[in-house]
Amino acid sequence: MKLNTNAEITWCPGCGNFGILAALKNAVNDLVAEGTPKENIVIASGIGCHAKIVDYINVNSFYSIHGRVPPTLTGMKLANKNLVAIGFAGDGDMYDEGISHLIHAAKRNTDITMVIHDNRVFALTTGQFTATSPRGFRGKSTPNGSVENPLNPLKLMLSAGATFVARGYAGNPNHLKELIKKAARHKGFSFVEVLQPCVVFNNTYQEYNRKVYDLSEDNHDTSSLDAAMKKADEWKERIPIGVFYEKESKVFEDNF
């Protein structure tokens, strides 16, 4: 299936976004092959490097504004429950600008998927710290290092009531593809945090390649919120990817 558009891809060579785009395209191909009508797939993005993804794949899309993807998708689902709505946002977009929307979408259990391109830096604005930048991060707005601790998005989402919480790695597009498919199929709010190296402002490839491991090889119980919380704390030595938590629950738009 032709999923390319005529748009010229303007991400930096080596950008983690290429891995995410490849994973998305393969996920869409699989979903369509497995019976999801292509016309029912709709994606949305915020503003930032991540957001260009809507131009690079030939599916329905809404190029939204900074931080506002969750309500945009919620509105779509309110209008048409058959849509498979997948949102993309960056860490600055979602954990800074629009964090309240993310929390509320999780709390509502709207049947949407949010994929967060978390490169732990504002990249398109040329390198400032975000809500997930490590303390001490040196950027143009924090020449002496950021004085704020990063937040833990997975724990935040687990506490907010997200019914599907996962983490992928842009350096492992095949694994990420499976996560996006699972998230899209999950009935309820799905959260997929993606470790995304930024080759210019925060190159984490080496660190992630060394630390990342697949949760499914670790006998992790995805039905346990406690286990998920514990795994979400793991970061220093090893970084787990895969499905942390999964649960069935009534979705928001089915109440109308």
Partner 1 sequence: MNTVTIGGKAGEGVKAFGKLFSKIISQLGYYIFVLDDYPSLITGGHNFNKISFDKKPLYSHYVETDVLVAIDEKTIKQHKNELKKGGIIIYDSNSVKSKGIGVPSLDIVNEVGGTRIMRNVALLGALSFVLGIDFKYVEKVLKETYPKAVEKNVAIAKKGYEFAKKNSKKVMVLKKIGSPKDIMTGNTAIAYGAVNAGLNHYIAYPMTPATSILHYLAKNSSKFGVKVVQAENEISVINMALGSAYAGAKTMIGTSGGGFALMNEALSLAGMSETPLVIAEIQRPGPSTGVPTYTSQADLNFVLNAGHGEFPKIVVAPGTNEQAFYKSAEALYLAWKYQAPVIVLGDKHLGESIKTIEIKLSKAKKAKGKISKGGKNYKRYSITKDGVSPIAFPGTKDTIVKSSSYEHDEFGITTEDPVVVKKMQDKRLMKMKSIEKEIEKLEAVKVYGRGKNVVLTWGSSIGAVLEAAKQLKNVKIVQPIYMMPFPKKEVAKHLRGAGKIVCVEANAMGQLADLIKLHTGIEIDKRVLKYDSREFNPTELLKQLKRWLK
| Helix H or strand E segment including 136 | none
Q: Are 131 and 122 in contact (CB under 8 A)?
A: no
Contact flag: residue 37 with partner 1 (CB under 8 A) = yes
Contact flag: residue 50 with partner 1 (CB under 8 A) = no
How far from 1 is each of 23, 28, 45, 57, 98, CA to CA, in Å? Answer: 15, 10, 22, 11, 34
Which listed residue (4, 14, 78, 223) binds partner 1 by CB under 8 A?
Answer: 78
- Closer residue to partner 1 (CB): 178 or 253: 253
**Nearest approach, Cβ of 240 to partner 1 (angstroms)?**
30
Q: Are 192 and 41 in contact (CB under 8 A)?
A: no
| Helix H or strand E segment including 141 | none
* Stretch in the footprint of partner 1 (CB under 8 A) among 65-73, 134-142, 178-186, 189-197: 65-73
| Helix H or strand E segment including 244 | strand 239-246
Which listed residue (23, 47, 183, 243) binds partner 1 by CB under 8 A?
Answer: 47
**Nearest approach, Cβ of 25 to partner 1 (angstroms)?**
14
Contact flag: residue 256 with partner 1 (CB under 8 A) = yes
Contact flag: residue 130 with partner 1 (CB under 8 A) = no
Q: Hunting for tokens 């869409």 — which residue is that?
A: 28
Contact flag: residue 7 with partner 1 (CB under 8 A) = yes
Which two structure tokens, joined as six digits, stand for 129?
Answer: 């710290």
- Closer residue to partner 1 (CB): 78 or 147: 78
Q: Are 130 and 137 in contact (CB under 8 A)?
A: no
Binding site for partner 1 (CB under 8 A): 5-7, 37, 39-40, 42, 44, 47, 52, 54-55, 58-65, 68, 70-80, 82-83, 100-101, 104, 256
